[in-house]
Amino acid sequence: MSPQKYLRYLMLPSLFGTDRTKEILQVNPTVLPQREEAKEVKISVHEYNATSFQEYGVESVSECLHCKENEYISWINIDGLRKNDVETICNYYGIHPLIIEDILSINQRPKMDEVEGVLFCLLNMLYFNEQKKSVETEQISIVLGPNFVLSFQEDAHRDVFNPIRTRLKINNAKIRQRNADYLCYSLLDMIVDNYFIVMEKVSEQIEVVEEEVIRNANTRSLAKINQLRKELIVLKRNFAPVRDLLSGIIRSESELLEDRTTKYYKDVYDHIVQAYDLSENYRDIIMSMQDLYINNVNLKMNEVMKVMAIVTCLMAPATVIGGIFGMNFDQIPTIHNRWGFFIAVGLMLIVPLWMLNLFRKRGWF
């Protein structure tokens, strides 16, 4: 048998997930973390209106600056952040330096701002890592302006926007008939909808651990419960601020948002409220699982103590009889009787059997 199979149990961080705790709690807004420059950058441009659509990729941000001057609605998506690229395109589109700083920051709380004629949304896309059984986050920044949307993503290899790209290619699609605020809604809606996919994965893990706790609870089960609680912290840390973000958009009086689009943002708000409530339900289930684990441990301990108590009680008559006949007196009943030994042993067997029958009648075991 492979020794590696058992050596992993000796590694405490692997067993109890303490590294994950450090990842979740290591957030200090007073310290400005340094973002590493992306090794790979992908820039895609979508230009469209009701009658035409074109999609292309560019090598540098300078190649897409002309989109501001044309008649189309432009969606410029940048996967992989480099400070120079972000500053170049943001300065050209007249985006405030504070927004640029937020785009380049890491571990930011999801939020919405209106600064100098643009609407800025910062939130996280969530993914579920099947190997680590953990929730991963990727910060995304969305800037809505007149006839343009800029989106900045950290990872150049994954996002959740492919359905939107597909809809943009359809001539009579609703997204092609609306302004840039509807595109912004579509991006937010796709991010929030993906939250439910991640939550389904988490719920599957909850079901597996719950069955394990009921069938055969052990220390590994407690470690898994603790791990699930950490993943729920990640979910709640994102859901609550996104709810406030969408609430701010709904209350906004920005000229960038059409009245007919507001109801769509309200629909996304309803979804994120539902996701938040569902995460609360998950939390209640996990707390119940933890209580169930503790109760199972106590039940096992009570069973052990009950068996030990019964054994002690059954051995007590033999101890008493042996002690009586082992006293150093000259006159002891049946001491010289040839059947004395068998009488004593018989008593040692009959009395415990009688006690055992009495315990069973009273339902003590």
Q: List the strands of the sheet with 111-115, edge to edge.
A: 53-58, 42-48, 73-79, 148-153, 134-145, 118-129, 111-115
The answer on pLDDT for 13 being more than 60 is: no
pLDDT in tens, 45-100: 999 998 899 998 988 888 888 887 788 899 999 998 989 999 999 999 989 999 99
**DSSP, residue by residue, 130-178:** TTTTEEEEEEEEEEEETTEEEEEES-SS--S-HHHHHHHTSTT-HHHHS
Strands 73-79 and 148-153: parallel
Whether 4 is covered by a domain: the verdict is: no
> What does pLDDT average to over the chain?
85
Whether 50 is covered by a domain: the verdict is: yes
Say yes or no: 88 and 216 in one domain.
Answer: yes
Which uninterrupted H or E stretch holds 225?
helix 219-251
Say yes or no: 254 and 328 in one domain.
Answer: no
pLDDT in tens, 217-255: 788 888 888 889 989 999 999 999 999 999 999 998 888
Name the domain boundary from 254, 278, 295: 295
Q: What's the whole-number mean pLDDT along residues 20-27?
A: 66
Say yes or no: 255 and 329 in one domain.
Answer: no
DSSP 58: E
Name the domain boundary from 253, 268, 295: 295
Is the CB of residue 17 less than 8 Å from the CB of residue 25? Answer: no
Say yes or no: 241 and 355 in one domain.
Answer: no
The answer on pLDDT for 34 being more than 70 is: no
List the CATH number of the domain containing 316. Answer: 1.20.58.340
Which residues on neighbouring strands pair with residue 114, listed in sequence order? 119
pTM (2 d.p.): 0.79
pLDDT in tens, 156-199: 788 899 999 999 999 888 999 999 999 999 999 999 999 999 99
Name the domain boundary from 265, 295, 325: 295
Say yes or no: 211 and 71 in one domain.
Answer: yes
Whole-angstrom distance, CA of residue 293 vs CA of residue 24? 25
Say yes or no: 195 and 103 in one domain.
Answer: yes
Whether 8 is covered by a domain: the verdict is: no
- Print the domain residue range for 324: 302-361
Is the CB of residue 293 less than 8 Å from the CB of residue 264? Answer: no
Domains in the chain: how many in total?
Answer: 2
Say yes or no: 254 and 279 in one domain.
Answer: yes
List the CATH number of the domain containing 201. Answer: 3.30.460.20
For the CA atoms of 338, 344, 349, 353, what is the dihedral angle to 10 degrees? 120
Is the CB of residue 348 less than 8 Å from the CB of residue 322? Answer: yes
Whether 7 is covered by a domain: the verdict is: no
The answer on pLDDT for 10 being more than 60 is: no
Say yes or no: 259 and 333 in one domain.
Answer: no
pLDDT category of residue 18 using cuts at 50, 70 and 90: low
Whole-angstrom distance, CA of residue 170 vs CA of residue 50? 10
Whether 68 is covered by a domain: the verdict is: yes
Whether 1 is covered by a domain: the verdict is: no
Say yes or no: 306 and 175 in one domain.
Answer: no
Whether 179 is covered by a domain: the verdict is: yes
pLDDT in tens, 269-321: 999 999 999 999 999 999 988 888 888 888 888 888 888 888 888 888 888 88
Say yes or no: 278 and 337 in one domain.
Answer: no
**DSSP, residue by residue, 293-357:** HHHHHHHHHHHHHHHHHHHHHHHHHHHHHHHHHTS--S--TTTT-TTHHHHHHHHHHHHHHHHHH
Which pLDDT score, from 0 to 100, does residue 30 have? Answer: 55
